[in-house]
Amino acid sequence: MTEILHVRDVTVRFGGVYAVQNVDLRINNGELIGFIGPNGAGKTTLMRVITGIVQPQSGRVFLQGVDITDKATHLRIRAGLALAQQIVQPLRALTLLDNVAIACGSDKTRHALKSMWVTDIRSERAQARELLARVGLSHVVDELPGTMPLGYLKRLEVARALALNPRLLLLDEPLAGLSQKEAASLADLIATLNADGQTILLIEHNLREVMRICPTLYVQDNGKSLAFGKTDQVMSDPNVRNAYLGVGHA
Amino acid sequence: MSYEITLMTTMAISVLFALSLNFITGFCGQISLGHAAFLGAGAYTSAMLSKADVPFLFTIPAAAICAAMLGAIIGLASLRVRHDFLAITTMGVGFLFVGIIRQQDFFGGEIGIAGIPSSGFGKGGFMLICIALALTFAAFSLYVRRSWMGFVFKSIADNEDVTRVLGIDVSRYKLIAFIIGTGTAGVAGALYAHHFRFVGPDSFGFVESISVLAMVIVGGIGSVWGVIFAAALLSVLPMLVQFIDDYKLLFYSGLLFAMMRFSPDGIAGLCTRLFSSIPRRVPDNGGNNR
Ligand SMILES: Nc1ncnc2c1ncn2[C@@H]1O[C@H](COP(=O)(O)OP(=O)(O)O)[C@@H](O)[C@H]1O
Ligand SMILES: [Mg+2]
């Protein structure tokens, strides 16, 4: 198995608060890892360290063996990452279709000056249509995000991340805000993507779905790694139970 | 006839100048509060070259390059930083520009540069050149809007951080918009210098920067047709109404404020809303409309 991501001894401090403390995490090609932990455990922060939105105080991040710690966010994306954010951030002036199409066109947007000479967007829109259909949004492709319910926007985030065709797909609570039925169907899609070979790191609060689709779990609490391993083993780990039941989150 | 020609020429130069800012502020969402400095850089370049007997048409590209180089330096220094840093830097550059021009005898100091040679095309010919350049840049703007570059600009204007997470080199795109916009302001400056046959430090100050921003905002940020309309109208208003000429800053900032408050998408937005046959009702958040 080849290693896709290696987070090595990463620490992030916000003022006096350790959001992430000496964390190590390795993800191999083809894995689907469920990343759980109570609110404030530093899950989103670790995601942001991986994508370069947050700079760690110490530690390194490697993508396919290359140290990307000092690289700008857009270069890390080009190197094979994609992120669906916890707080949805649609481009509000663009239709759902174009929100995804712009990500599909990453070859056309790579070189800024060259992008001026290209106007054809048909193939990207066709691709975007397919991706939106995959997340169950084909009936609203021409709508603006402002008119859409949260559940739709969460799925839009996922479609847009998929459009980047990443080596590693990072999903930050994609199921939050979805109805039980919607959550189950998006979880199914995530499992299917993984079965098709997509490597995925999935942050999720919905334990039921996580336990259903993720073979491997990584648990963080209070910024520290708590457990990593097979899902049933991790879930029976007393430390993990404590972290969840003790703090009172589920 | 001569008065109409003057009016039309003034309009065309203003339209070009406003469209140059529209490229930066309208397309790319980057607020510049010192755009007149680039008009000035072009105007002074063209004026001084003309006085050194360089033919008018050759001074145009020189003015564009000079203004664009200034734009590149400022863009490189400020576009990589936080979102609204450009507004502050450009305002500073605007004041600095006027300050430097004032101090240096090389640039004519307080008195400015008078007696700029005529363009050599006559008043009518010069007007046609101005109109042709304004229309060319308008057509270019409309084209860019349709290109992938325009698509990215729209995305950046919407949300820079998201655009970055989509793998796009946001700083590079912003820099290109800024260089094209400032270079074009330089072209407008060359026309300005040969229209009035005089340039002075007072012509390129804060008031000018605010008026051109008002034109872009009143026209409707990003809308090429709206900006053309607003620039044409607002550029001649002070010539027609003495009161507005006397209270330019008050008038333009008042207009700016009113527009931001009552129709943030400008005249273009106003028209869209008035003429759209099916009024769209937008639910304020996502309820259960599935
Ligand atoms: N930008 C920030 N500035 C200050 N504190 C932050 C910031 N982002 C996160 N934190 C803090 O870091 C901790 C971890 O947050 P986060 O990574 O969002 O947790 P999770 O995603 O696991 O709920 C929390 O205590 C949070 O308040
Ligand atoms: Mg979070």
Mean pLDDT, residues B33-43 taken together: 96
Ligand 1 mutation pick, A13, A35, A44, max ligand atoms within 8 A of CB = A44
A9-37 in b/e form (b: 16+ CB < 10 A) is ebbbeeeeebbbbebebebeeebbbbbbb
CA A250 to chain CA centroid, nearest Å? 20
- Given a cut of 90, whether residue B87 has pLDDT beyond it is no
A106 to chain B: closest CA residue? B167
| Single-letter amino acid code for the residue at B247 | Y
- Residues A206, A65: contact at Cβ < 8 Å? no
Mean pLDDT, residues B268-278 taken together: 69
Structure tokens at A28: 């191999």
Residue B273: the pLDDT is 75
In a domain, B285, yes or no: no
Residue nearest to atom 16 of ligand 1 (CA): A42
Report how many domains make up chain B. 1
Residue B216: the pLDDT is 92
E-strand stretches of A53-206 = 58-63, 66-67, 81-84, 168-172, 199-203
Mean pLDDT, residues A108-125 taken together: 95
B283 touches chain A (CB under 8 A): yes
In degrees and rounded to multiples of 5, residue B183 shows phi and psi of: -60, -40
Residue nearest to atom 2 of ligand 1 (CA): A14
- Cβ within 8 Å of residue B35, ≥6 positions away: B17, B20, B21, B24, B90, B94, B181, B182, B185, B208, B209, B212, B213
Query: Which of A160-174, B1-15, B93-107, B154-168 shows the lowest mean pLDDT across its residues?
Result: B93-107
Distance from CA of A78 to the nearest CA of B (A): 6
Q: What is the pLDDT of residues B220-264, one digit of tens each?
A: 887 899 999 999 998 888 888 877 877 878 888 888 888 877 777
Contact A121 B149 (CB under 8 A): no
Domain range holding B162? 2-277
Residues written for chain B: 290
Q: What is the pLDDT of residues A136-186, one digit of tens each?
A: 999 999 999 999 999 999 999 999 999 999 999 999 999 998 899 999 999
Q: Looking at residue B47, which CATH number applies to its domain?
A: 1.10.3470
CATH 3.40.50.300 fits A1-80+167-250, yes or no: yes
- Given a cut of 60, whether residue B282 has pLDDT beyond it is no
Residue nearest to atom 5 of ligand 1 (CA): A14
> Which strand (E) or helix (H) includes residue A20?
strand A17-28
Report the mean per-residue pLDDT for chain A. Answer: 93
In a domain, B208, yes or no: yes
> Which strand (E) or helix (H) includes residue B223?
none
Name the most confidently modeled range: A220-224, B18-22, B227-231. B18-22
Contact A91 B286 (CB under 8 A): no
Mean pLDDT, residues B40-50 taken together: 96
Instruction: Specify the pTM.
Output: 0.90
In a domain, B232, yes or no: yes
- Given a cut of 50, whether residue B281 has pLDDT beyond it is no
Residue B197: the pLDDT is 92
Interface test with A, best of B140, B151, B281 (most A CBs within 10 A): B151
- Cβ within 8 Å of residue B108, ≥6 positions away: B101, B114, B199, B200
Residue A43 in contact with ligand 1 by CB distance below 6 A: yes
Mean pLDDT, residues A24-51 taken together: 94
- Residues B27, B154: contact at Cβ < 8 Å? yes
Contact A105 B157 (CB under 8 A): no
Contact B152 A51 (CB under 8 A): no
> How many whole angstroms from A62 Cα to the centroid of ligand 1?
22
Residue B86: the pLDDT is 83
The whole-angstrom separation of Cα A181 and Cα A172 is 19
Asked whether the CA dihedral B184, B185, B190, B191 is positive or negative, the reply is positive
In a domain, B282, yes or no: no
Domain extents in chain A: 1-80+167-250, 90-165
